[in-house]
Amino acid sequence: MPSRDLKRRFQDKTARIGVIGLGYVGLPLIEAFNDQGFDTLGCDIDAAKVKGLNAGRSPIKTVDHGRVRRMVKTGRFRATDDFAELETADAILICVPTPLTRHREPDMTYVVETGKTVAKHLRKGQLVVLESTTYPGTTVEELKPVLEASGLKSGRDFFLAYSPEREDPGNPRFNTRVIPKVVGGDGAEARELALALYGQVVAGVVPVSSTQTAEAVKLTENIFRAVNIALVNELKVIFTRMGIDIWEVIEAAKSKPFGYMPFYPGPGLGGHCIPIDPFYLTWKAREFGVATRFIELAGEVNQAMPEYVVAVLADALSRRFKKGLNGARVLLLGMAYKKNVDDIRESPALRLMELMRDHGAVVDFHDPYIPAIPATREHPRLAGIRGVKWRPEAFKRYDAVLICTDHDAVDYAAAVRGARLVIDTRNATRGVKSGRDKIVPA
């Protein structure tokens, strides 16, 4: 049987693994397979990225150049923009973006177009796995028909599975190899093959009954986080009005050894998953006539946080300096969506900058990992704006410094010393002793 031979090659690591999309998910996945001795092929439409990888240069901070050079040196990794080479792969893992449209509905363009490309080069005996976060039903309702347009049939000629990515960029404790993989297949054979494949490179595999269940697992994980972040964001607004420090509350609450898990407030949600995934389920639930009121309310709370932060800034400027946002000079510290990464996707800093500029403020930014704002679909007006150098002694020329991302590489004590006013959305200044009268939490 074709599946038996394929399973054997996964188990003895003679199979070739192709990964489509060499970003924050695909590249660490390639590294995990490469480290276990598999021959790996990385496919990406970005020719410059492909060229850089083959020269040992990483396109992302979370996988450094040294690690890419080591993979290239083994001879078991090569990047390409020629997708015809996928014919040589035994497993094809799809790690492409799944964004939202302007109407906050799922945009399956990348998945469908990638599926069409794979279909052109699909051969009998291959395993195809979708890893992109999406709504329940995508693998069999969207990807499967595109692949079967090749004339090959899932479960007979090739095998199809879904295994959601669980990357946490910038978190040194959890890399691809130590995070268990949830696996669902389009049929039992596909699931067993995917389990055999991932079982060679990750700490554990978690089989579920279907691709739809596996897709629902990923949404559940991120919706859980989105809802709890919304709760703590709302508590922040309430407790701040009462004169209570939300950060002190959380620190004390998490001393309880059961029944509580700490989540932390911020200026809004960022990253590719948490701001997007709830809307995927909300959209799909409409097909079944179900309202997702709780999830949508959480989304409204989180989406409103940038406006709340700007309101706090405006009030602080008025109270301290008797001036409004119009004409104020503001330095935004941190553009990345989370600390210690160079990822700007869905970052609340983008919305904060636009809001402040719309109110007439003159806004600069500094981020040690982001020299300039790249082009984004939602914020085209900000594309190309370059960050300013780290010069705390020059911070007094700004009316306020607004901390949006709490990178470890930033000296917040120096920022407070140099600034006239600091709006801290991340509790980044908690260890700063001098100049606390300048700090306003938001």
Q: Is the distance from CB of 179 to CB of 202 less than 8 angstroms? A: yes
Tokens found for residue 183: 């696996």
Residue tagged active-site, from 43, 95, 273, 404: 273
d(CA 328, CA 356): 9
Determine the residue type at 188. Answer: A
Tokens describing residue 64:
């450094």
State the DSSP H helix or E strand holding residue 98, giving kind and residue range, or none if neither: none
Neighbours of 321 (CB within 10 A): 13
3-state DSSP percent of the chain in helix, strand and coil, to 5: 40, 15, 45
Q: How far apart are CA 207 and CA 198, in angstroms?
A: 11
Contacts (Cβ under 8 Å, ≥6 apart) of 287: none
Amino acid at 24: Y
Strands of the sheet with 205-207, listed across from one edge = 77-80, 39-43, 16-20, 91-94, 127-130, 159-162, 181-185, 205-207
Determine whether 273 is an active site residue. Answer: yes
Catalytic residues: 273
